[in-house]
Amino acid sequence: MFRKLFKAIQLTADIFTSELKAVFSDAGTVLMFMIALVAYPVLYSLGYEQEIVRDVPVAVVDLDNSSLSRQCSRMADATEQLKVECKANSLKEAQNLFYTGKVKGVIVIPANFEKDILRSKSTIVSVYSDASYFLLYKQVFGGVVYSSGTLSAGVEIKRMINDGKTIDQAKDLQDPLKVDIYNLYNPFGGYCSFVMPGIIILILQQTLLIGIGILGGTSRERNLFFTLHEYVNKKGGSIPAVFGKASSYVFIYIFNALFTMVVLHRWLGLPDNTNFLTTLVLLIPFLYSVSFLGLAISVFFKERVYPILFLVFLSPILLFISGLSWPIQSVPRPIYLIGHLFPCTEMIPAYLRMRTAGAGLSQVTGEWMFILIQMVIYFIIACVSYKLAMKNYKKGTV
């Protein structure tokens, strides 16, 4: 028994070493495992480096042309969200500026704006913004609400002071219900801090799956896939073959994860409320699960180009069902269940809660157990896939 165990360990180590050599001798795999894994997150990060959208250009149509309307325009320009690019003479002129792309929003201050305010009558400031571009719409709307709210509060406080109230009394009467808002884990509300940690997990999965698929397709193209025929066809022989190959990928991706989850995290200043070693409890079974899944489907790729076409096509779909671009609670149930075929679906929310929110393993036990079960299932499927593929072995053919 010990002799068989020793042989199995030795075979696993041999396959581990040979697979590492295969990875680093294949330019396409090196490109996917190393270069793409570095390039993708860096390029994504550079695009989102500013975190939030600032100084959105807007046009102001001031139909009142009073001191108070000009103050309203200046206050809008003073917000970090907006930049008053120009002052149009009419709504038609502002509309032309909007359609030519020179401004992303239009603020219309009505006639009699100052008179109505001084008479304690309500007045309406109209805002036109492109709601088809959600981030720009949010900034234009938020900037106008903030500046007009501040102006309105100032006018109201000044009126109460004229009526004999103290400044403190006027402030309390103007805002009787104060709300303290705390932005947990993403204090600036930055887009990069929101999206990048989850994107990193998705990139790890997709580059690993594509790289394994390229290796599998290459071995079929070069008629090297069946070199393990002698070992795999023995009883239990597929176990060391599959585990040895997967371990080589996990070994490489531990170092890749150090870059993406430590170096890149610190460079971007992403929220980090736990250490990398703690996340390894999730990361290692996740990487094994992805590796076993990759090995299971790699037997179907007869050319190295197939996994690129198939798995790249899946990437935007997985981004959608991961809950990053749309709340997972709102995803249709069938799509939600299909998404759980991929390890990233449970890994992303668990990783975000641990790394961003500082949750402990006890708070992500459900996702961790799911990934462990997934790892075992995909290991069994990979072993069966290799066994079935080797049974159809014919020397000299693929």
What is the pLDDT averaged over residues 243-255? Answer: 91
The pLDDT score that the predictor gives to residue 395 is 47
**Sheet of 82-88, strand order:** 82-88, 56-62, 105-109, 126-129
Q: Where do the DSSP E strands lie in the chain? A: 56-62, 82-88, 105-109, 126-129
Contact 227, 389 (CB under 8 A): no
**Model confidence over 22-70: pLDDT tens digits?**
888 888 788 888 888 778 877 777 777 677 788 889 999 988 888 888 8
State whether CATH 3.30.470.20 applies to domain 56-174. no
Q: How far apart are CA 77 and CA 87, in angstroms?
A: 11
pLDDT tens for residues 261-280? 888 888 877 888 888 888 88
Predicted TM-score of the model (pTM): 0.80
pLDDT in tens, 288-299: 999 999 999 888
Can you give the residue ranges of every domain in the chain? 2-49+191-391, 56-174
Sequential DSSP letters for 46-77:
HHTTT-S---EEEEEEESS-SHHHHHHHHHHH
